[in-house]
Amino acid sequence: MVASLFLSLTSEAQTPAPATASLHETRAEGLKTLSEAQVIALSQLEKGSQVGKPELQAAADRLLQTGMFAKVNYSFQTRGDGLTVTFQLEEAPRVPIYYDNLPWFSDGELADAIRKKVPYFDGTLPEAGAVVDQVSDALKELLASRQLNVSVEHELLANPLAEGNVQAFRVDGGAFYIASVEFGDPGVAASHMVQQQLSEVQGKPFSRMTIDLFLSEQLRPFYLQQGFLRVKLGPPEVRLTGNPNQKLPDQIPVFVPVSTGAVYHWKEAQWSGNSVLSSITLANEIGLKRGDVANGMQIESGWDRAREEYGHRGYLDAKLDPVASYDDQAHTVSYAVSVTEGVQYHYNTMVLTGLSVAGEARIHQLWPTAPSAVFDKSLFESFLTKLQTHPSEIFGELPVHYETVGHWLRTDPAKHSVDVLLDFK
């Protein structure tokens, strides 16, 4: 942390500055979500107290240690009526909180318990810091109020339902299992495929992460294929009967609310920023005609195929940004797709590690791309697949032994060149 100090004194220049002064005011700059009053509370600086550089530095350290701030600087001024300190702050990125296996309480009850200890809690937390530990303590106290002697753990995990991460909290010591999963849509029960896949969840230790991953990876595609592009799944609910203060049964029934919404049909995709590939070529990668059921999985695969087509032509940095527009009266969907093509790369050289000289020679001999030629990513991926699954097609009877092939593409946009790095282990 960098602390910048600016001292303005009303006395003579040769008069030594006092070691402490009465704190008149605390200010905060750079805030986006927190309030100045919340920063003051976190700093633990009290108006009217005697403070000097050590106390101000300690307050800045406390702010940084919360995890709520990526940067903490401060300055101060002294006047006749005391000292004013100003914190220049940059709030740290925050991620959603995620309650994994606390079936005794609703999300609202858990959030209320947290706010008693962390009043500014808004459903998000930093990736680390004292605030995260305070949330653990709040949950532990709530559990103890129900005579639940379990420990609380937290871990930064990939969000099972969206991009980014979540700050996941779970208890260690609760032996509960998912007895059954029922859905708000009776159509799920009629799907033999979905019912077969439920074995991935039922009978497993109770975990919302397990359930949400099933919803995201198995059930959502089931709906997207049918054109239910705006289906809402969950959040999963624990449905128990009887006295809520009694001990939970070992087997927990789970209910998943489902709101399917309407079936959407394909209208069009409008492309911008593309010159290497025509809009007709890109539209053909989607493979849908106006009026077709908008198969969400086919649409996602279409974006991937378009990116692969760019990679086939050496445009390794090509990006597609599709933005959906829904007509809820006509039940149609159209996309505005912004394309950033980037530069076309040419093959430069290959760097090999972990192979014998004879093995390296065989790789170079069979490598399909000549120096300075346009780099075809699909040829690279095909060659890599052979190395990983059918090495005899590359090495023949050479005594080459490895378990994995690390692979990287080192691009140089300024030179429009790409190097292939392969590490055999």
CATH number, position 405:
3.10.20.310
Return the pLDDT at 328.
Answer: 95
**Sign of the four-CA dihedral 238, 243, 248, 252:** negative
- Proportion of the chain in helix, strand, coil states, percent, rounded to 5: 30, 30, 40
Please say which residue of 279, 313, 340 terminates a domain.
340
Is 14 inside any structural domain? no
Nearest of 193, 217, 208, 196 to residue 252 by alpha carbon: 208
* DSSP, residue by residue, 370-411: -TTSB--HHHHHHHHHHHHH-THHHHTT-----S-EEEEEEE
Please say which residue of 73, 91, 109 terminates a domain.
91
Q: Give the pair of three-digit tokens for residue 40.
A: 């003051």
Q: Give the pair of three-digit tokens for residue 417.
A: 């060149």
Which domain covers residue 143, as residue numbers?
Answer: 93-174
For residues 211 and 277, state if they share a domain: no
CATH assignment of the domain containing 199: 3.10.20
For residues 360 and 417, state if they share a domain: yes
For residues 287 and 358, state if they share a domain: no
Q: Give the pair of three-digit tokens for residue 308.
A: 């692969």
Return the pLDDT at 148.
Answer: 81
Is 278 inside any structural domain? yes
Q: Give the pair of three-digit tokens for residue 372.
A: 């300075």
Torsion of CA 180, 185, 186, 192, to 10 degrees: -70
Q: What is the mean pLDDT of each run of 10 residues along the chain (425 residues)?
A: 37 50 94 94 94 93 96 90 92 96 90 95 95 96 86 93 94 84 88 87 92 94 96 88 65 93 97 96 95 97 97 97 97 98 97 94 95 97 94 90 94 97 95
Please say which residue of 288, 305, 340 terminates a domain.
340
For residues 115 and 139, state if they share a domain: yes
Task: Output the pTM of the full model.
Answer: 0.78
- For the chain, how many structural domains are there in total? 5
Return the pLDDT at 364.
Answer: 95
Is 100 inside any structural domain? yes
Return the pLDDT at 246.
Answer: 61
In contact, 92 and 68? CB cutoff 8 Å: yes
For residues 104 and 169, state if they share a domain: yes
In contact, 302 and 285? CB cutoff 8 Å: yes
In contact, 256 and 236? CB cutoff 8 Å: yes
For residues 31 and 74, state if they share a domain: yes
